[in-house]
Structures are given as C-alpha cells and as structure tokens.
Structure 1
Amino acid sequence: MPTERSPRVQRALRLATGTALCLAASFGLALPVPFLAPVLCAMLLVTLNRPLSFKATLALALTAMLTTGIGLLLIPLLRYFAFSGVLLIGVSLFLVFRFGLRGGNALVVTFLVIGLTMISSAGVADFDLALSVITALVVGLFLAILAGAVGHGLFPEPANLPAPAKAPALPAEQVERIALRATLIVMPAFLLALIDPARYLPIVLKAVNLGQQSSTVRARDAARELVGSTLLGGLLAIGFWSALSLFVHLWMFFLWMLLFSLVLARKLYGLSQTRWSPGFWLNTLVTLIILLGQSVQDSAAGKDVYTAFAVRMGLFIAVTLYACLMVHLLDQRQGQPGVSPPAPARQDSTPP
C-alpha cells in the first residue's frame, strides 16, 4: 500500500474494529437500546481522527445529558398543548440544523436533535422510557468513546500528519433552505414516534441520519444516495442475519460486524474505488446497524423477525422517499441545483 494512503488504511481498520467492539459490548451488556452505542461509535470515529482526552470525554457526556435533557422539559408541553409543542419542536429543529450548517459541532447537533425528538416522544408515552433512553444514550456514548479509544490504540494516526482541512462553508443564502429541508425530513418520523414510541424510535434515528445526510449531497443526486444507501443497508442486514444464523454466538456477531464494517470502511475512505460519497457509505453502515440491532432484539423477545424486518424496512424506505421528495420540492422551488458542503466523512480523507 502506498505510504500516502496509510492514514486512510488506519482509519478504515479503526472504524471497523471500534464499531464491531462497541456492537459486541453493547449487546453483551444488554444495554436498553443496544444499537445506539455502535451508531454513536461509528459517527465518532468518522468525525474525529484523534482519541478524546478524559476532559473532552466528560465534557461530551455532560453535553449529551444537557442537550438530551431538553426533551424532558418538552414532555408537559406535548402532553397538554400538543399543537404548540409540536410547533415549538419544529422551530427548534430548524434552529439546530441551521446552527450545524453554520459550522456548529456536528455531535452537539446530533444530541440536540435526538433530545428534541426521541426523548420527548418517548416521554409522552412513559416518562421512565424517556429516562431509559437518556441512560442508554449516555452509557452508549461512554462505550462508544471506549471502543474508539481501543481502535485508536490499535490503529493510531501518524504523529506528523497535518490536521484535515475544514469543510468549505455553506453559502449564507442556502443555509435557511437546507435547514428547513432537514427539519421537514425529521418531523414526520417524530410525529409517528408520538403515536407509538417503542415501535418508531428507530425510525426517528434513521430520519435524523437522513436529515443530516440530505445537507451533504447535491439535490440531483439525493434520490440515488438516500434511497440507494437505505436499500443497500437493508440488503447487507439480510446477508448479515443469514450468515449469523449459521452459528449464533456473540463472538461471531463481533466477527461478522468486523467484516461488514471493514468492507464499508474501505469504500468510505476511498481504498476501494467507488462513485458514491462517504456519506452514502456511512448511512449504509448506520442503516445496517439499526436494522440488525432491532432484528436481534425481536428474536430475543420471541417476535417474528422476518415480518418485523419487512415492516421496518418498508418504513425506512418510506421515510427515505419522503426525504427525497422534500429535497426535490425545496430545491425546485429555489430554482437551482443546490450545492451543499461535503459530508463530514470527507474531512477524514488523507490530506494532500
């Protein structure tokens, strides 16, 4: 492998190892929402090329608790003044996405959106459920940071590697439109979660991922990127489940996830030639983890895994098609193709 590509090799190995370790530990410890930790771990490893210090870890955990705790404050409003509560959350989502598009921290944006949607919708049905989701998020975050630290220890960044260049800023005239687009993508999934949080919370997490990804792809490529990554994630989940069923064991769960993550990481970091963006492959990995994690939970609960998977996959596709529709309508109204900044994963490419 050429020397200049070695940082990308390290990052691909780190992403695959950290995600697989986090997945195995999360399910082995029987966390309340076990697929949440590996999703956070994948996002952390793609976003950050250096391990977090102890001080930064505490700061991030505190930020997660504070931002997700906002959802608890919105529960009474949603229970007694539902229309006003939904309207307030819609406006808040718009402001959060606009903050992120103007250069705000991507992780803070993710936690704020989760707090506004997942936590508040869970709390409307059951306050204890909202607390359990927050607990799962914070514990999952610590687990993700620990797995990421192991990945950095096994596959460290070169010491003399310069810091990656910042992504180009989004033109000011497009910030409002793209923030509105992301808000409209997330809101329907949030409304579904208000009806049945236990069933639709994974859909909210998927919508949050789509809302952020829709801000990183060009409008003319949105349908192929969003729908394609969702379908590919579903196909990989089916293949993963079939392979795991040959020998069901936690270590095999880890090894299969390591293999699948490594294949996707090679695509994400450009080690294997592809015409798709890094955001496409990250969304595929996130979709795979969510679908697979829910199937494992369905199996443990004695549910019909295949029927539940078909329903969940149908909802994922519906949410994705709706996201594509919002991208098309808003960009058509704008009258221009809509150029967006590159995905966060592009920042992790090898610097020139």
Structure 2
Amino acid sequence: MRPGGPDRAAERARRAALRLAFGVAACFAVVEALDWDVTFLAPLLAANILVKLERPPPSLAQGLAFLGLIAVSTGIVMVLTAAFIGSPVVLILALALIIYLSFYAHRRGAPELVTLLPQISAVMLPTIAILSPAAAGSFATTIVLAGIVALITVWTAHTIFPAPAAAGPEASPANDTARAAGPTTAARHALYDTLILLPVLSWFILDATQVAIVVLIVIVTLLRQHDRGQGQQTALGLILGNLIGGIAAAGFYNLMLVGGSLLFFVMACFAASLIFAGRIVVAAERAPIYAIAFATFILLLGLGMSPLPGTSGEAFFSRLLNVLLASAYAIGGLSLVERWRRLPS
C-alpha cells in the first residue's frame, strides 16, 4: 500500500461530503433568501451533480452549454404544452419522445444536467400548466434560474473544498451508478424507463392532482438511480431510502417551525445534508439508497417550505405516502420489465 494512501482517501471522502452538503445548503439559502417558488429545484440539481463524487465540476464552456440547454428544453416543453394542451394524446406522445431521448443520453453517460433538466421540464411544466395555467410561465423561468444557481453553487463548492491534488484518477464504482452503456443496451433501458414513467405522467396530464410533482419526480429519480446490475434486495432498499428521506424531511420541517430564522435554517440544513453526504461517501454498495434518501429529503423539504399550486406546507404525511407509493410503483415496474426481458422468445 502506498504511504499516505488511506489518509489521502479519507481526505478525498471528507471533502466530497463537504462539497455535497455545502452545495445543497447554499442552494437552499439562496432560494429561501430570494423567496423563490419551487425551493427544492436548485438544491436537487446541485445534488445530482455533486453526488458524482469523482467527477470534476463543469467547465465554463460546459456551464454555458448547460444554461443554453435549460432554456431550450424548457422552451420546447412550454411550446408543446401551450400548443397541445387541448390535445392531450399528442402532448403525451411528444413528451414521451423527450423523456426517451433524455433517458437514452443518461444511460450513455451524458452529464447529469443534460439529461435531468429535460426530464424535470417534461414532467413538471405540463402538470403545472394544467393545475394553474397562469403559473406555468413563471415556473419555466424558475427552472432556468434554478439551473444558474445550481451551477454557481457547484463551482463554489469545488473552489472551497477542492479535491486533493494527489488524488488518483480512478472512479469509485459505488458512486458511478449511471455507468455508460452501449447504444443497444442504453436504447433498451431508456425504452423501459419511458414505459414505466409514461402511464403515471399520462394519468396526471389527463386528470391533474396536487400530488403529481412529488410522484413524478420520485419516479424519475428512482429510474435514474437504479442500476440494472443491482439485485432485487438493493432495488427494494431504494424504497427504504425514500422512507428515510421522507421521515427526515418531516422532522426537519417541524424543527424549522420552532427555529424560525434563515440562519438557523441554513446551519441546520448543512448539518442534515452533511449526515446524508457522509453516508453516501462511505456506504459503498448502499450509496444509491442514501442518495435516494437525500433526494427525497430535498424534494419534500423544498415542497414544505414553498408549496406548489394546489398544495400545502403541512401535508407531509400525505406526501410521504405518495413517495412510498411512487417508489413501489417504480420498483414494481422495473421488476416487470426485467422479467419480460428474460422471457424466452
């Protein structure tokens, strides 16, 4: 073993956990200070970038490209929604194509924001437009601004907590849950992911309800996190991860009702995020479970702090139930398509 190897690895893990916790807490601080809607979006985007612990931050050119992609993907979804909101079947088919292409790019190893932002736009904007047409435009603007905040926060986190200069280039398999697949495999998995997500998205477009955003984002997050190489036990563990994240968000939200100040919120958010980040860094094969728990924590906490149209900040129990139902649906859908794929032709 090389001298200093364990110490170097421990320092890398410590800085990675601090980057992740800082990024999420800083995003929450910015959006809460500015009193934005959709509080969860910027922290969730930052977490999706920073949870890939071994990857360097986006370059300036990549950042500008990401911002352009945000504007383009959001604009396309807005145009489709406005054009076909009276023809839901056509709208659903158009959204299905966007979702499929984004899942394909994700399975091929594209950067997180490149694939996550079109998916978030595709599942959020149409359902928000149906719930509250007047809010759709401001919602689209918020998505763009959230992407900007997430990128700046990621760059800041890497500046404050840089990876040790002597760190080795090897990537950690535990945190590389979206390893690049070949074209045929990526196309097949993207089709499965789309087929699992599409029925729920169609249901909420045809009959929008207040739980649509929670359910859809939980399903998207699970599909993105799930590795087809994982066993059934690990897949079921993702449901446990959602339960952990939901309970933590409910407890944290009630603590915020007592604390009150923005400073207290930011400090407590950093402490809670650091707990999740520490588990993600050291949990080896269980890292995806804690990553799912952290994403659920961010989502439910953000919705509690800034409810979407038709929702309330106090409905944590119903949201947690919807999270668990969405998790069970996604894992059940993944199990079904895996069995279908293994059937003899």
Same fold (TM over 0.5): yes
Secondary structure of 1:80's counterpart equals coil
Q: Which of 115, 120, 133 is the aligned partner of 1:114?
A: 120
| Distance of 1:175 and 1:302 partners within structure 2 | 36
- Comparing 24-33 with 198-207, which one deviates more in the overlay? 198-207
Q: Give how far 1:282 is off.
A: 1.5
How many residue pairs match? The answer is: 330
Alignment of 1:288-303 (within 5 A): 288-298=297-307, 303=312
The one-letter amino acid paired with 1:318 is: L
* Structure 1 counterpart of 2:38: 33
Q: Which of 130, 136, 151 is the aligned partner of 2:136?
A: 130
| Distance of 1:230 and 1:27 partners within structure 2 | 24
| Distance of 1:63 and 1:128 partners within structure 2 | 24
The one-letter amino acid paired with 2:136 is: A
Query: Is residue 2:241 matched to residue 1:232?
Result: no
| Distance of 1:242 and 1:198 partners within structure 2 | 22
The one-letter amino acid paired with 1:334 is: R
CA contact (8 A) 1:183 1:211 kept: no
- Comparing 184-193 with 110-119, which one deviates more in the overlay? 184-193
The one-letter amino acid paired with 2:236 is: R
Q: Which of 92, 95, 102 is the aligned partner of 1:96?
A: 102
Q: Give how far 1:207 is off.
A: 2.1
Secondary structure of 1:57's counterpart equals helix
Q: Give how far 1:216 is off.
A: 5.6
The one-letter amino acid paired with 2:338 is: D
Gaps of 5+ in 1: 337-352
Secondary structure of 2:138's counterpart equals helix
Q: Give how far 1:130 is off.
A: 2.4
Cα deviation, 1:59-116, whole Å, max 9, x if unaligned, reads 2111111122220121145323222321332243223212321233332111121222
| Distance of 1:54 and 1:91 partners within structure 2 | 29
Q: Which of 16, 21, 24 is the aligned partner of 1:16?
A: 21
Query: Per the alignment, do residues 237 and 249 of structure 1 end up closer, same or farther by CA in structure 2, a change over 3 Å counting?
Result: same
CA contact (8 A) 1:213 1:279 kept: yes
Q: Give how far 1:304 is off.
A: 6.7
* Structure 2 counterpart of 1:343: none
CA contact (8 A) 2:80 2:94 kept: no
* Structure 1 counterpart of 2:196: 185
Query: Per the alignment, do residues 104 and 296 of structure 1 end up closer, same or farther by CA in structure 2, a change over 3 Å counting?
Result: closer
* Structure 2 counterpart of 1:284: 293
* Structure 1 counterpart of 2:153: 147
Percent of residue pairs identical: 25
* Structure 1 counterpart of 2:341: 334
Q: Which of 300, 318, 322 is the aligned partner of 2:329?
A: 322
- Comparing 318-327 with 76-85, which one deviates more in the overlay? 76-85
| Distance of 2:268 and 2:181 partners within structure 1 | 38
- The alignment's C-alpha RMSD in Å is 2.8
CA contact (8 A) 2:29 2:266 kept: yes
Q: Which of 86, 89, 98 is the aligned partner of 1:83?
A: 89
- Comparing 208-217 with 137-146, which one deviates more in the overlay? 208-217
Query: Is residue 2:319 matched to residue 1:312?
Result: yes
Query: Is residue 2:61 matched to residue 1:55?
Result: yes
Secondary structure of 1:310's counterpart equals helix
Cα deviation, 1:5-40, whole Å, max 9, x if unaligned, reads 211111101111121111121111111211111111
Secondary structure of 2:38's counterpart equals coil
* Structure 1 counterpart of 2:72: 66
| Distance of 1:324 and 1:192 partners within structure 2 | 18
CA contact (8 A) 1:182 1:215 kept: no
CA contact (8 A) 1:203 1:316 kept: yes
CA contact (8 A) 2:19 2:161 kept: yes
* Structure 1 counterpart of 2:3: none
Gaps of 5+ in 2: 1-5
- Comparing 109-118 with 13-22, which one deviates more in the overlay? 109-118
Query: Per the alignment, do residues 90 and 55 of structure 1 end up closer, same or farther by CA in structure 2, a change over 3 Å counting?
Result: closer
Query: Per the alignment, do residues 57 and 197 of structure 1 end up closer, same or farther by CA in structure 2, a change over 3 Å counting?
Result: farther
Query: Per the alignment, do residues 247 and 67 of structure 1 end up closer, same or farther by CA in structure 2, a change over 3 Å counting?
Result: same
Query: Per the alignment, do residues 99 and 247 of structure 1 end up closer, same or farther by CA in structure 2, a change over 3 Å counting?
Result: closer
CA contact (8 A) 2:241 2:292 kept: yes
